[in-house]
């Protein structure tokens, strides 16, 4: 396995960053995870646009040009022979003596890219069975619209889900309204077959899969409503599913131990999953 670290391709076991990297010291960095399917990078343009937004909000410089970055991503995927899987890309504010304020201008941002193959059969199995979720209060900061590497609350929530025999934790706000998963966006389908997901202007991450799924829904002639919905509404839904780049759209069949509908994956999430790759942007590795 090969990783890209600050200008060099190195074996995964020798891939290191400095102890004074601000990503390590302050979680002062952002990341993207992108799906690779059948030898194509899925929705790269949207992921790079979001990276640009995250960097801009935190005033971190681009580590290199967008074109150069695209080439490094492809080379990392080629060197790891990924056809189905993902790449992970992280940009931090760089290496500087520990101090909360930003380092001197000219400090180079750090760039790390890793790639991983995944077994489509394992994902297919998860889709056929559906996943379980729990609800948890949202204890994160209010800039979760930035895809920052500060994921301690998310890690705690996922661990709590695991210990409860579930695979995802769904954040709920103080008013009992659903926010998003610890690493996904949440959708419900109501009795009329309308797809509902929380608006992404504020308080959640604007998932790329979420955005492309809105395109997929339009293509399939589905009605989509971006509005808040409560936990009670979600528990009474016809279908619930979560979206994320590496899992597209997993059906959720149980939440807090309560079955959703008949406790089996629904047909709408399946239809969306089948149409997704066609609609998404595909760039050959």
Binding-site ranges for ligand PLP (CB under 6 A): 33, 180, 183-185, 205, 207-210, 243-245
**Closer residue to ligand PLP in complex, CB, 21/168:** 168
E strand residue ranges, the chain: 2-5, 8-11, 29-37, 40-42, 85-92, 110-117, 131-137, 168-172, 178-181, 185-189, 195-197, 224-226, 239-243, 250-255, 258-259, 282-284
E strand residue ranges, 65-144: 85-92, 110-117, 131-137
For 207, the token pair is: 């998932």
**Closer residue to ligand PLP in complex, CB, 6/148:** 148
* DSSP label at residue 118: -
The CB-of-258 to ligand PLP minimum distance in angstroms stands at 23
Residues recognised as catalytic: 147
The CB-of-248 to ligand PLP minimum distance in angstroms stands at 9
**Closer residue to ligand PLP in complex, CB, 170/285:** 170
The CB-of-224 to ligand PLP minimum distance in angstroms stands at 16
**Closer residue to ligand PLP in complex, CB, 6/135:** 135
> Which residues, listed in sequence order, are joined to residue 135 by a DSSP beta bridge?
170
The CB-of-204 to ligand PLP minimum distance in angstroms stands at 6
Closest residue to bound ligand PLP by CB: 207
């Amino acid at each position: 396995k090969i990783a890209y670290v600050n200008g060099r391709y190195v074996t995964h076991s020798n891939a290191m960053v400095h102890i004074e990297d601000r990503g390590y010291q302050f979680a002062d960095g952002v990341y993207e995870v992108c799906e690779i399917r059948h030898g194509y990078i899925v929705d790269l343009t949207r992921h790079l646009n979001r990276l640009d937004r995250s960097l801009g909000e935190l005033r971190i410089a681009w580590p290199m040009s967008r074109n150069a970055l695209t080439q490094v991503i492809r080379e990392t995927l080629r060197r790891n022979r990924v056809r189905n899987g993902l790449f992970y890309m992280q940009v931090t504010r760089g290496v500087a003596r520990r101090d909360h304020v930003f380092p001197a201008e000219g400090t180079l941002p750090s760039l790390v890219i890793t790639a991983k193959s995944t077994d489509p059969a394992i994902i297919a199995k998860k889709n056929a069975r559906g996943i379980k979720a729990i609800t948890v209060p949202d204890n994160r900061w209010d800039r979760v619209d930035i895809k920052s590497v500060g994921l301690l609350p998310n890690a705690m929530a996922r661990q709590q889900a695991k210990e409860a025999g579930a695979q995802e934790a769904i954040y709920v706000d103080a008013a009992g309204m659903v926010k998003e998963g610890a690493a996904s966006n949440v959708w419900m389908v109501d009795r009329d077959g309308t797809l509902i997901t929380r608006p992404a202007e504020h308080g959640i991450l604007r998932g790329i899969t979420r955005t492309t799924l809105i395109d997929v829904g339009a293509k399939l002639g589905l009605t989509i409503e971006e509005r808040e919905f409560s936990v009670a509404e979600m528990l009474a839904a016809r279908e619930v599913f979560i979206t994320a780049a590496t899992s597209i759209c997993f059906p959720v069949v149980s939440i807090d131990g309560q079955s959703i509908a008949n406790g089996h994956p629904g047909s709408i999430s399946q239809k969306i999953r089948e149409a997704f790759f066609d609609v998404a942007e595909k760039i050959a590795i």
